[in-house]
């Protein structure tokens, strides 16, 4: 079954650079299709209008739409990480070259796109029926920028 909803990311001339960056960061990723302006315009003939790409099975469309709109934290993409190594990898790659770390596992990449780099175990900890354990984890997480699984586990275990 084809994907029925595809996020469109609006860039100001950086669609190709951003797509190449994302495809290099995420495994199982590829550029699927590139559409270029023709002599009809409005962009320079041969320059990129859109790029359809896939990262980890999710399709995205990158659009060179111009300066009218910019990204903000109202929309973010969650990266589910199985290990601290994955958290560290994505955090390092996505904050590099002008990206910005944020609170509680959030960050902005160098293009302004917001990401949440989250260990898989966090949801289990936060959903624990023992509210005291869950609250300790939440309190610990709220003090972090990049999430640290070992520290979250210590909070969960009450150590």
Q: Give the pLDDT of residue 1.
A: 57
Last residue of a domain, one of 35, 66, 97: 66
User: Residue 159: what pLDDT?
Assistant: 86
Examine the domain organization and report whether 55 and 118 are in the same domain.
no
Average pLDDT, the chain: 96
3-state SS of the chain is CCCCCCCEEEECCCHHHHHHHHHHHCCCEEEEEEEECCCCCCCCCCCEEEEEEEECCEEEEEEECCCCCCCCCCCEEEEEECCHHHHHHHHHHHHHHHCEECCCCEEECCCCCEEEEEECHHHHHHCCCCHHHHHHHHHHHCCCCCCCHHHHHHHHHCC
Residue keyed to tokens 């315009």: 41
Q: Place 3 in a pLDDT band, splitting at 50, 70 and 90.
A: confident
Select from 66, 87, 103 the last residue of a domain: 66
Q: For 13-35, what is each residue's pLDDT tens digit? A: 999 999 999 999 999 999 999 99
Residues 36-47 have a mean pLDDT of: 90
| 80 and 142 share one domain | yes
- Report the alpha-carbon distance of residue 98 to residue 89 in Å, rounded: 16
Give me the number of domains the chain comprises: 2
- Domain edge (last residue) among 12, 31, 66: 66
Condensed to tens digits (0 to 9), the pLDDT of residues 130-156 reads 999 999 999 999 999 999 999 999 999
What's the CA gap between 81 and 90, in Å, rounded?
A: 9
Q: Is 54 left (phi over 0), alpha (psi -120 to 50) or beta?
A: beta
Instruction: Give me the pLDDT at residue 41, please.
Output: 80
Round the CA-based radius of gyration of the chain to a whole number and report it: 19
Same domain, 42 and 119: no
Are both 61 and 105 inside the same structural domain?
A: no
Domain residue limits at 17: 1-66
CATH of the domain at 118: 3.10.180.10
**With a threshold of 0.85, does the pTM exceed it?**
yes
């Amino acid at each position: 079954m084809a994907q029925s909803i595809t996020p469109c990311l609006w860039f100001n001339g950086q669609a190709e650079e951003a797509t190449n960056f994302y495809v290099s960061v995420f495994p199982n990723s590829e550029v699927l299709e590139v559409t270029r302006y023709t002599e009809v315009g409005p962009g320079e003939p041969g320059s990129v209008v859109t790029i359809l790409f896939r990262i980890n099975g999710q399709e995205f469309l990158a659009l060179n739409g111009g300066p009218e709109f910019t990204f903000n934290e109202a929309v973010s993409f969650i990266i589910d990480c199985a290990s601290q190594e994955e958290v560290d990898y994505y955090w390092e790659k996505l904050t590099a070259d002008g990206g910005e770390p944020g609170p509680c596992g959030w960050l902005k990449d160098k293009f302004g796109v917001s990401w949440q780099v989250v260990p898989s175990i966090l949801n289990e900890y936060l959903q624990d029926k023992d509210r005291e354990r869950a609250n300790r984890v939440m309190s610990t997480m709220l003090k972090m920028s990049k999430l640290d699984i070992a520290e979250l586990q210590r909070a969960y275990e009450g150590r």
